[in-house]
Homo-oligomer: A and B are copies of this chain.
Amino acid sequence: MENLHGYTGLALEVLKKADVKIGDNIRVIRDGEIFEGMLMPRIGLGNPSHIILKLSNGYNIGIKVKGNVEVEKIEVERKPQDKTVSVEVLKKEGLPSVLIIGTGGTIASKVEYRTGAVYPSLTTEDLYRAVPELSSIAEIRTDVLLSIFSENMEPRHWCEIAKAIGKTILEENVDGIVIAHGTDTMGYTAAALSFALQNLPVPVVLVGSQRSSDRPSSDAALNLIGAVRVAAYAPFAEVVVAMHESISDDSILIHRGVKVRKCHTSRRDAFKSINAKPLARVSNGEIRMLTDDYIVRSLDKNLKLKPNFEEKVALLKFHPGFNPQIVEWLVERKYFGIVFEGTGLGHVSKSCFESIRKAVEAGMVVGMTSQCIWGNVRMTVYDTGRDLLSLGVIPLGDMLPETALVKMMWAFGQTKNPDEVKEIMLLNLVGEYSSKLTV
Contact = CB atoms under 8 A, between A and B. Distances in A.
Interface of A: 149-155, 157-158, 182-185, 188-189, 212, 262-267, 270, 309, 311, 313-323, 325-326, 329, 333, 341-351, 370, 372-378, 381-384, 402, 405, 409
A320 B375 contact: no
Nearest to A325: B333
Contact of A317 (B262, B341, B370): B341
Question: What 5 A-B pairs come out closest when comparing CB atoms?
Answer: A265-B375, A184-B343, A184-B344, A151-B347, A264-B374
A149 B384 contact: yes
A265 B317 contact: no
A313 B346 CA distance: 23
A152 B349 contact: yes
A303 to B, nearest CB: 23
Given A265-B345, A345-B265, A372 B188 contact: no
A266 B375 contact: yes
27 contacts: A149-B383, A151-B342, A151-B347, A151-B384, A152-B350, A152-B351, A153-B320, A153-B349, A155-B320, A158-B320, A182-B344, A185-B320, A188-B320, A263-B372, A263-B373, A263-B374, A264-B372, A264-B375, A265-B346, A265-B376, A265-B377, A266-B378, A267-B374, A315-B317, A321-B409, A323-B333, A325-B333
A321 B317 contact: no
A374 B262 CA distance: 9
Point out which of A155, A184, A409 has the most chain B C-beta atoms below 10 A from its C-beta. Answer: A184
Contacts of A151: 318, 342-344, 347-349, 384
A372 B405 CA distance: 17
Contacts of A183: 344
A270 B375 contact: yes
Contacts of A333: 323, 325
A316 B315 CA distance: 9
Contacts of A405: 319, 321
Contact of A375 (B267, B316, B322): B267
Contacts of A382: 149
A204 to B, nearest CB: 18
A155 B349 CA distance: 12
A336 to B, nearest CB: 12
Given A151-B343, A153-B349, 5 more contacts: A184-B344, A265-B344, A266-B375, A270-B372, A270-B374
Contact of A376 (B263, B266, B370): B266
